[in-house]
Structure formats: C-alpha cells, structure tokens
A and B are shown apart, each in its own frame.
Chain A
Amino acid sequence: MSNVSECANKQVLLVEGLTKHYGNLLAVEGISFSVNRGEVYVLLGPNGAGKSTTIKMITGSLVPNAGKVNILGLNIWEPDSVLHVKRQISVVPEELIVYGNLTAREFLTFVGRMYLMSPDRIRNRIAEVSEVLAIENVLDKFANEYSRGMKKRVLIAGALITNPKIIFMDEPFDSMDPIVARSLHKHLIDFAGLGGTIVYTSHVLELVERFCSRFAIMYAGRLLEESRIESVLEKSSLSDYFHGVIEKASKMHETRSVSR
C-alpha cells in the first residue's frame, strides 16, 4: 500500500458531524472524518452500524439531519454544486442494479450517457475497463445470465468508465469469489496509485487488510476508531483489532441501554 499512501497529499473528502435519524432510531450520530487524494478509506462495522447510510449521505442520495460533506472542496448539499460534484464521483450501490434484459455493454453505455460522455469515449472506456475487470467475455451477454459476482464487477466497471476522482462503494467484495476479489483489489490499487480515491464499506477483513490505507470502525451509528492500517498491523491482525473494538463498544452500549 506504500504507493497508495505516497499519493495522499490533498484532502478530497471532508465529513463533519454527519447525523441521520429515522424517527427515534439514530442511524448515524455526528461522525467526522476526512480522506486524502489517493487514499483507500474503509468503513468497517457490523450490520446496522450505519455504514451504508453514511455512504448514501456522502454521495447525495440521502439527506442528513445535520453535518457537512465537502467533496473536492464543494459541499454536495449545496444546490449549485451537487451536479458538479456528482460528475466527478462514482457510486457502486450495495444492490445489484444491473438490468437483466440488457447486456453489460448496453448497461455501461447507458451509464456513460448518463454522465454525458461522448459515444467514442464510452466505447474506448468500455474496452479499457472491461479488460481491467476481465469482463470482455460477457460484454455481449444478457445480465440475467451473470453470477452475482459478475454483476458486481459490471457495476464496478460502470463506476470506472466515467473516470471519476473518487469512487464510493458499498460492500464491493460481497458475493465475489476470492480470485476475482483479489484481481479487482489489484486494479483498484492501481486506480488509487494514479491519484484516484476510494471509499468503501466492507465486512471482508482479509481483503481490507491488504487493500486500504486508513479505516474507521463504526458501531451503532458512531465512529469508534480511525486508524492507519500499518499502525494496526504492527501490533496484531485487523480481525483481532476489529473484534476487540466491537466487543468493547457493545459492552458499553449495553451498559448505556441498561442505565437508561
């Protein structure tokens, strides 16, 4: 990850006091963090920790109740800057949104057109990205013949063809076999090495260990710990560290619930 860290010289994402509640349920409570250019930043946490909600709020798909999100120096919640920001980022949602009656090529063309890319540029980018993600063989097959892992790859290809500055991914390695995950992770490192920034959520700690510059652990809507991966790996494995933090947090959470 050293080449990734070397590029980290400019802040591209700043999140301050982000809060979201659904009625009485507090989904995310005042989280703050920042990400620099070229970094791979991971949000870790158990189910219901608020990772997906955070990603949605950062990418402008969900309105926060409080807090500020600055992407590339612009507030995504400002009406004047939202489109400018969105054109420079890509989002890979958790749901496998690939139309069954479309081929990967048609789907990628649609994504490119939504980003106002020219037909030639779309064609070239599809060729480049499909080679990187090893989807050339399925480009002209219908998506409902794909496995879940393949659908995920097509979605990631959709995020890459727009040549974004930042990619946000919600559980990108979910339902992906280890071989594909490893190859994808290699390509994403290359992307980060070229100055791209990646922010993603994950449960797959083994991959996070190898593919991340910094990470944050979330639990019950709060950001508990934020650290550089190297500093953790010097002492223990990410898995041990993660479980230790979560265990401590869950005990505190239980005590707080009982005292209430």
Chain B
Amino acid sequence: MIWLQINALIGLRVKHLTNQLQKGGCLDSRLIILLFIGFCIACGGSFAFTLGYGLKFFRDDDRVSVLIACDILVGIFFLTTLSNAFVESRPGGSISQDYLLTFPVDLRGAFLIRLLSSSISLRLMWFLSVTLGVGIAFVAIKGIGGWPFFILAVSFLWMVESGGAAMRELFESFSRSNRRIQLYVFMIITLFMMAAFGPYLIIRQTSLQQSKVVNSEFRKETARLSRLYHKREITFEDFKSYSQMNREKFDRYFEERNKASKISNVYGSLLSANALIPLGWFSYGIVMLQCNNPPMVFLCTAGMMGVGCVFLVFAYKFSQLIFEKQLLFRLPYSHMKLSCDIPRRFNWIRLPCTTNSTLAVAYFSFFIMLRASKTYQILASLIIPLGIIIGVGSTHFLDEFAQSIAPVALICCSALTLFITNNWALSLFQFDKSEFPRFAQSPMPRDQVLIGKNLSLAPFFVVVGCLLLGLVCVKFRLDYIDCLGSLIQLLSLWVTACLIGNCFFIRFPAASNKRSAKSGLTHLVFHRLLNASTLIAVVPGAISLLIQMRYESLSGFPIYFFVEMAQGVISLLVYDYIVRKQGARLQICEVELLEAYDLQRDFIVIA
C-alpha cells in the first residue's frame, strides 16, 4: 500500500515539475535545458575523469592517490549535504509530515515517504556518476574482485542519507521546540567535531611519541658512551668519534626516515584517520579492496550499514517526537520582548544610520534565524572545513606543505565563509513565512528594514568567519598583521553578501515557508549565480596576498592588511549609498512582492 502512495507522490512531483516548466514559459524552458546540459556535462565529465583516474592509479597501485581522491569525493559530498548547497535543486522532495498524516498513512508510512522522496537529489546523481566511474575502473582492473566496490558505495550512501535524515529531524525538532536546547545542539556539534578531529590529534601525538622514542634512544646511547669514557674503557678520541657516529647515525636515521617514509607516513596517517572516522570507511574499504583484504572490506561495509541503521532509528525517533509532542515553531514571548527592550537598553551602542526600530528588526530576525533548522544545518557544515584545516595544520609531516599553502588556505577560507554564510544572506525573509508582510505593514523606512535584516546576519558571519579564518591563522602560523587583515576582510564579505542578498530578495522574491525555502527554477539559478558573484569580495585580498608572496622585497610591508582596510572602508561607504537605493526600490515594488508572497504562501512548497 505504501508503495502505491509513494507512487502517487512521485506522480505529483513529476506533474509539479512539468507544470512549473509549462508555466515558466520560455525563460524557464531555456534555463532547464541549459541546466540539464550543464548537469549532464558535469556528471559525464566527472564520470570520465574518475574512470581515467581510477584506471591509472588502480593499475599503478598508488594507494595514496586513491585514498586522497576518495576522501576528497566524500568531503565534497558531505559538505554539499550539510551546507544545503543543492537543497533547492531537488526535483521534488518531501511534503510536510503534518499534511501527510491527514491521508490514510500512519507515522511510519509518512516517515518512509518523506525519507525516500528527500533522498533523490542532484548531489546524489552526481555522486552516483562519480562512483560509477571509479567502480568501472576497479572492476576493469580487478575483475570479479572489484565488484564489492559497489556494495561499499551503496552502504556509504545508506549511511550518509540516514545520517542526513537523522540530522534533518533532529534540527526540525529543535527548531520547533520552545525549550532552550540550542545549547545542546551546539554541544552535539562540538562533540561531533571532537570525534572527527580526535583521530588527527591522536596521529599527531603518536608521531611526536615516535620522535621522542628515537630521541631517548639517542640520549641513552650518548649516556652509555659517556659512562664508558668515565670508566676509562674508551679514550676521549674514541668517545668523540663514537658520539659523532651516534649523532650521524641518528641524523641519517631521521633523514632517511623523513625522505623514504614521508609518503608512507602521510598514507599511514590518512589511513588511520579513515579507519577511525565512519565517514572514512568508504575510502578505507576501497584501499583495503585494493590490498585484497576482504575481511576489512566486509567490516567497512557492515560498519557503514550498521551506522546507517542507527541513524535511521534516530531519525524515526525524532520524527516520532515531533509527532507526539507536536512541537510548535513559536518565537517565545521573552524573545520578542527582548527584541523591543534591547535597543532601548543599549541605546548608547547604536550604530550610525540606524534607529531603535532597526535594531529591533535585527534582534527579532536574529532570534528567528537562531531557531531555524536550516541554521543548525549550515553551522554543522563547518565540520568539513574545520576538519581539513585542523587536519592539515596538525599533521606533523606536512609542516612545510602547510606553510607553503597558508595564503591559499586563507583565501579559500574567505571564499568558504562566503559560501556558507550566503545561505543566510540570500534567504533574507525566508525564515518566518509572515515576516515580510509584517514589515511591509510597518511605517519604518524600508532601508532601515534592510539594514536591520542585514545586521541580524552579522553574528553568523562573525562566528563562521572567526572560526575558519582564526583557525587558519593559528594553525598555519600566519603573521598577526595578516590575521588582522583577514578579520577586517569579514566586514567587506558581510557587506557584499548583504547587498547581493537584498538585491536578490527585491528582484526574485521566493516562497516563504517556515519549513522549506524551495522556489522556482529561475529563482534557483539566480540564487546560485549571485552566490558565486559574492566571491568578488575575496578577489582584492587574494591579489594582495599573491603580490605579498611574489615580491619578497616587499616582505615586511603588510599589503594585504592595508588592502583589506581600504576595502572595508569602501565597502561601508558603498553599502551606505546602495542600501538607501535598495530601500527606495523595495518601497516601489513592495506591492508586487506582497502579491508574490500571497500567491506562494498558501500552498505547501515541495522541498
């Protein structure tokens, strides 16, 4: 019976999509064709690349390359899952549990329908094309022994999708609750991060221990020679030459060890880390498959299946919790009161160009965003970049490498900060479905509404930015002046994201549903384009850092810092000018926006 209902839902989704295209007319049809071609090229390209890569490195038995490639693949997949990057690209998705329960479906059925429908996504299709490439290469080289690769891939997908479902339900239950459990979420995320970083720290510690052992042996040998000399069993010349030999022996040992085993140590560290983290079991299993170690392959598969089952049970328990407690999304009165009180109480910190109402808007919006499940998901996406930064920074053998890539890491982190925080910036009024109409009814100047909304995003920029950039600065041992520059850069990143977010909202108003933010295809495409365009804010910093690196004669002069200072000041001036224009524009097209909201608000958006 449940399959017939799933079938009905699939039929609904297909109809929904085809109608959307039909209604969208020429623009949407062209866009869908372009997107389809682009997606096919991306999938085909990824397939061809991974097939070629697999054929080359599996044949050469280059395990390090295979391991790193698999880890990158898993990292990208996991990051896109967590960061909501392609959530709007789903060709349908789940409908709300509350609505499904009005049909002859019990809770288990509703859960299953939602799970299956939300699993179909573009990132999944991309991942399948990539794994297919690697899998075919594996089978081509290994023959029948390569087939377990596909079982590994399926169990990995099972684990990640179940984990995603558990996370969605967990965040949904938190966002619907009026209790102060956000703290628990952060605790869980922190524990998860610790669980992910722990292995790296252990490996680092182990490598240090090894050096300590070797050093102590060297000391023991020196002490022994010294005792022999004091007992007059050897002459001073002998003692000197033996000590010299001992020193040379250990120096040579270290040198040879570093030279010969650098690669194998990297491989060993990565392999250990993969073995310890469930997310790495896919890569670990592939390497074990390459090493012809079936028991380990079986263990990895069983482990991923098991973890997936646990996640699924958790997901179901959380959906049960939502159903049984019927947790409600309500902004507690105390928060609303606080939103009104805080601006009055802290009048003295009022920023230029803002009023009390602006700050009230900012505080109110901030609380709404803090309670949205999307917020937790976005924050959870920090796990991957943080893992990479700490991992690369902590790996003892990669110190030189880490130093050489420090500026690039800094630029990447700035871009990543924008990528992650743009999810908030480009969803200006999407966290509470009645939010925009409420502001539209207020007599506030519209630029103040926009400034208020933008200010509410600032804490998220600060948290994400400081975490990523701060960690890069510390881990990669950057100059303090560059660290300061990168923190100043946050200001211009925030301004750029806000201006583009405001523009996006005014030009392409999206459906505002409290549980999803899915909207039309045009909206989606421009969302992605504008998301990419915010990267211009990183360009001046990147160029200045490159100049600083390239011209060593200038070393000592902090070009990066001054460029960021200038960019920050210019950004603020530009913001002050443009936000007024945007406010005026918002005032003009407010009625159209309200109409768009009214049209789209009443139906459940499939997402």
A interface, CB within 8 angstroms of B: 20, 22-23, 56, 59-63, 79, 82-83, 86-87, 91, 93, 95-103, 106, 109-111, 113-116, 142-144, 148, 151
Contacts and interface: CB of A to CB of B under 8 A. Distances in A.
Given A99-B12, A113-B5, A148-B602, 19 more contacts: A63-B324, A86-B105, A87-B104, A98-B603, A100-B600, A101-B16, A102-B12, A103-B19, A110-B8, A110-B9, A110-B12, A113-B7, A113-B8, A113-B11, A114-B8, A115-B104, A116-B5, A116-B104, A144-B602
A101 B23 contact: yes
B599 interface: yes
Interface stretch (B95-103, B245-253, B537-545): B95-103
B464 to A, nearest CB: 32
Contact of B602 (A56, A91, A96, A113): A96
Nearest to A84: B104
B557 interface: no
Given A99-B16, A101-B19, A101-B23, A144 B600 contact: yes
A99 B606 contact: yes
Contacts of A97: 99, 603-604
B178 A59 contact: no
A86 B103 contact: yes
B104 A142 contact: no
Nearest to A82: B106
B260 interface: no
8 contacts: A22-B325, A62-B323, A93-B99, A95-B602, A98-B602, A114-B5, A114-B103, A144-B603
A251 B256 CA distance: 91
Top 6 A-B residue pairs of the complex, sorted by shortest distance between their CB atoms = A113-B8, A86-B104, A91-B102, A114-B103, A63-B324, A100-B603
A144 B328 CA distance: 27
Contacts of B324: 63
A59 B102 contact: yes
B537 to A, nearest CB: 36
Contacts of A79: 106
B298 to A, nearest CB: 36
B261 interface: no
A23 B603 contact: no
A81 to B, nearest CB: 10
A23 B178 contact: yes
A216 B1 CA distance: 37
B98 A143 contact: no
A97 B606 CA distance: 11
B4 interface: yes
A103 B8 CA distance: 15
A139 B11 CA distance: 18
A82 B325 CA distance: 19
Contact of B23 (A23, A87, A116, A142): A142
A22 B328 contact: yes
Contact of B102 (A20, A93, A144): A93
Interface in B1-47: 1, 4-5, 7-9, 11-12, 15-16, 19-20, 23
A244 B606 CA distance: 45
B472 to A, nearest CB: 43
Given A97-B604, A99-B12, A61 B102 contact: yes
Q: Which range holds the interface residue count of chain B?
A: 20 to 34
A148 B603 CA distance: 11
Among A59, A99, A142, chain B packs the most CB atoms within 10 A around the CB of: A99
Contacts of B7: 113
Nearest to B101: A61
B106 to A, nearest CB: 5
A260 B600 CA distance: 45
A143 B104 contact: no
A17 to B, nearest CB: 18
Contacts of A96: 602-603
Contacts of A102: 12, 15-16, 19
Contacts of B600: 100, 144
A115 B178 contact: no
Given A59-B102, A142-B23, A110 B11 contact: yes
A101 B15 CA distance: 8
B326 interface: yes
Nearest to B327: A22
B104 A114 contact: yes
Contact of A142 (B1, B19, B325): B19
Among B1, B23, B104, B105, chain A packs the most CB atoms within 10 A around the CB of: B104
Contacts of B1: 83, 116
Contacts of A56: 326
Nearest to A113: B8
Contacts of B104: 83, 86-87, 114-116
Contacts of A101: 16, 19-20, 23
A233 B19 CA distance: 50
A95 B102 CA distance: 12
A102 B8 CA distance: 14
A61 B98 contact: yes
Interface in B306-329: 323-326, 328
A143 B324 CA distance: 32
Contact of A60 (B12, B101, B325): B101
A123 to B, nearest CB: 15
Interface string B84-122: 000000000000001101111110000000000000000
Nearest to A116: B4
Contacts of B20: 101
Nearest to B102: A91
Interface in B561-607: 599-600, 602-604, 606
Nearest to A144: B599
Nearest to A103: B19
Contact of A22 (B99, B101, B326): B326
Nearest to B326: A62
A110 B113 CA distance: 14
Contacts of B599: 100, 144
B105 A143 contact: no
Nearest to A53: B326
B292 to A, nearest CB: 49
B419 to A, nearest CB: 30
Contacts of A61: 98, 101-102
Contacts of A82: 106
Contacts of B19: 101-103, 106, 142
Contact of A113 (B4, B16, B325, B604): B4
A82 to B, nearest CB: 5
B579 to A, nearest CB: 32
